[in-house]
Structure 1
Amino acid sequence: MNLSTGGRQLRSRVALAALVGAVILVPGPSYAAPNDPKPADGGPLEQIRSQLDGLYREAEVATEAYDAANEKATGQSKRLASLQSDLARTQGRAQALHDLAGAAARAQYRGDYFSSAGFQLILGDHPENALPDAAQAARTRDTLHNIYENQKTARAELDRQTEAATKNLRDLKKTLADKADAKEKIQNKIADAERIEAGLKSEQANGLAQLEKQKENEATSKWPGPGANAGPANKGGTGNGPSGNGPSGGAPAVSGRAGQAVSFAMAQIGKPYGWGDVGPSSYDCSGLTSVAWAHAGHPIPRTSQAQWQGLRHVSLSSAQPGDLIIYFNDATHVGMYIGGGQIVHAPRPGRTITTAPAASMPILGVVRPGG
């Protein structure tokens, strides 16, 4: 075996560490919507409302994808940093073995013995514990055999870590591309909806507001869960329903972690919706619920889909304040139940955090973070 050649091979194998370190995480680019849709003049309000709801729903679906990609990228970045650290340690060990092999080869050439204590000092995790007794040194050929075996182990570990880092880097790039794609979709859908709203006549805008209020009143009467028409159960909280004066009183106060989560969420009322945001000045729907429960000392998954998948499911009839109501078949919206058939949630872009009838959207189910 040519020790000099082996050293060059080892150094070449760890060159990936520098490449991994060069990755820069940048946010996705900003895009304009490709089309400029406008509502048909004098069209039915239901049609306009349906069109707007559809665009904002698509934006929310894309927001969920963005949040999931963002969470994934964060985890992958941490893993990448850990792999970089592992690669650096293994590279140092491989270099130490190379230097040790050179010293042993020189000793062999001179016909000398090579100290096993020196071997322990270089390779040991705690070199200060190495036996100082150089009289116990093995012959150089035995030491060389140990060195070569350790080189083989280090080289295999270096290969494994390099392969893992390469795969993680590839996955991270894919996740960042997914994140940028989701961001583009969000911006496009919001831009389309904003163009439609900007083009509405005043009577159309007023008619849409009245229609929305009517739909919310109908949803209040349709709530199949407990505490219908009883008002929210936040202790000392202030409602902020569609009319600006939310329901109040009539339901028992909430205590424990659920009460803390409800109180935190209610305290955010009036703050704007912001896709991908987790506060403190703006939130998206799952950002609000995840931060509220983290504030209560019980961290939960970040996205509404992960909340639906990872938290305990309970029946709608047993919903309690602090529970999370998951909406739509794809679990892309979430609100926190506050009692009285009401939720507090971050509705959509252009709106602020508010209370709303729990039955105002298609309910997928209820999950309970508190156990």
Structure 2
Amino acid sequence: MNVSTDGRQLRGRAALTALVCAMALIPGLSYAAPNDPKPGSGTSLEQIRSELDGLYREAEVATEAYDAANEKATQQSQRLASLQGDLTHTQSRVDVLHDLAGAAARAQYRGGYFSSAGIQLLLGDHPDHALADAAQAGQASQGLVNIYESQKTARTQLDRQTEAATKNLRELKSTLSDRAGAKEKIQKKISDAEGIEAGLEKDQVSGLAQLEKQHADEAKSKWQGPGGGSPNGGPGAGTPVVSGAAGQAVAFAMAQIGKPYGWGDVGPSSYDCSGLTSVAWAHAGHPIPRTSQAQWQGLHHVSLGSAQPGDLIIYFHDATHVGMYIGGGQIVHAPRPGRTITTAPAASMPILGMVRPGG
């Protein structure tokens, strides 16, 4: 009996030890340096702009994947820490029950008894409190049976918790791998785009800026919500400025204008697109999902015609960009790597729809 019990105990400890070691050995993230891109030559400004937009667009899609994986990894890490705590508690209980069973067996062998008070303490949350008394006591067979049943229950619980923690650890490793892949893709696309921009002539840079302004002007006429075509395009033009939480969210987002875009960032010195909107609304006392896709899925949908400052406009078919509506057919957003937080026409990108936090 003792050999079998000791074997199970050693296996339980070995499983727990292996799990903890596996957590400690999760590798840090490392990434291969992306290949240096070659800027296109003999192409029109529209083609260059389209190529750059495509690269930054792919970087943003990867950023959304990175943000989602990062959120998931955080939740899984917290869950794993909780499971670790449960494992430690249960393993301690198994150890104490093992010692208590030995004390009871020795008392029975000597012809002694095992007290009912010791049994009651055994079945509680802290059987270790009964160990001192149990070593001096003993009651025959029924008490010993109760101890062994408690051991069996505790070991089953330990096995279940170990299995859950092991599964969570596998999921965490997979999530970290997804995050690493997304980060590598982000870095590659940004590096490619920066390489193209570095190879542009001054007149091309100037031409691209003019082309971008032209597209922004054209986008103003495409806005189908309130305040379209406002001459100043500022917050509140054609749309009343809201107070309360929405007003606080808008004020916070506007106060970040000029800070750089940083993929995966949630401030205070830099933000990505959904980092800006999520932190702005959290600052207003209404936490919302972290990513633009989760914001699209989890928040109340409203029509563009009912747009109010503080609403979030979700862009592209895969919901991978978001800006905050500020009125007058304008948004404030974190555009892309290499840019700073700014205002822009609400229709400057393909609109998927609009959501209203707290709505």
TM-score normalised to the size of structure 1? 0.90
Q: CA–CA distance in 2 between the matches of 1:72 and 1:188?
A: 23
Distance 1:174 1:126, change over 3 A: closer
Q: CA–CA distance in 2 between the matches of 1:179 and 1:19?
A: 24
* Contiguous gaps of at least 5 residues in structure 2: none
* Contiguous gaps of at least 5 residues in structure 1: 232-244
Shift of 1:13: 1.4
Q: Quote the residue 2:234 is aligned against.
A: 247
Kept in 2: contact 1:96–1:123 (CA 8 A) = no
Shift of 1:248: 5.5
Cα RMSD between the aligned structures?
A: 2.1
Shift of 1:230: 4.0
The 5 Å alignment of 1:12-161 reads 12-22=11-21, 23-24=23-24, 28-41=29-42, 43-125=43-125, 139-161=139-161
Kept in 1: contact 2:63–2:186 (CA 8 A) = yes
Kept in 1: contact 2:62–2:182 (CA 8 A) = yes
One-letter code aligned to 2:256: Q
Kept in 1: contact 2:107–2:113 (CA 8 A) = yes
Q: CA–CA distance in 1 between the matches of 2:196 and 2:70?
A: 29
One-letter code aligned to 1:302: R
- The one-character-per-residue Cα deviations of 1:193-251 (angstroms, maximum 9, x if unpaired) are 000000000001000000000000000111111121347xxxxxxxxxxxxx8636534
Q: Quote the residue 1:7 is aligned against.
A: 6
Distance 1:128 1:104, change over 3 A: closer
Shift of 1:154: 0.9
> How many residues in Structure 1 have an aligned counterpart in Structure 2?
352
Q: Quote the residue 1:201 is aligned against.
A: 201
Q: CA–CA distance in 2 between the matches of 1:363 and 1:253?
A: 22
- The one-character-per-residue Cα deviations of 1:347-366 (angstroms, maximum 9, x if unpaired) are 00000000000000000000
TM-score normalised to the size of structure 2? 0.93
- The one-character-per-residue Cα deviations of 1:267-322 (angstroms, maximum 9, x if unpaired) are 00000000000000000000000000000010000000010111111111111110
Q: Quote the residue 1:312 is aligned against.
A: 300
Q: Secondary structure at the match of 1:321?
A: coil
Q: Quote the residue 1:237 is aligned against.
A: none
Q: Secondary structure at the match of 1:112?
A: coil
Q: Say yes or no: does 1:210 pair with 2:215.
A: no
Kept in 2: contact 1:301–1:307 (CA 8 A) = yes
Q: Secondary structure at the match of 1:15?
A: helix
Shift of 1:87: 0.4
Q: CA–CA distance in 2 between the matches of 1:128 and 1:105?
A: 17
- The one-character-per-residue Cα deviations of 1:120-156 (angstroms, maximum 9, x if unpaired) are 33442367999xx99xx98320011111111111111
Q: Say yes or no: does 1:351 pair with 2:352.
A: no
Q: CA–CA distance in 1 between the matches of 2:315 and 2:289?
A: 16
- The one-character-per-residue Cα deviations of 1:308-345 (angstroms, maximum 9, x if unpaired) are 11111111111111010000000000000011100000
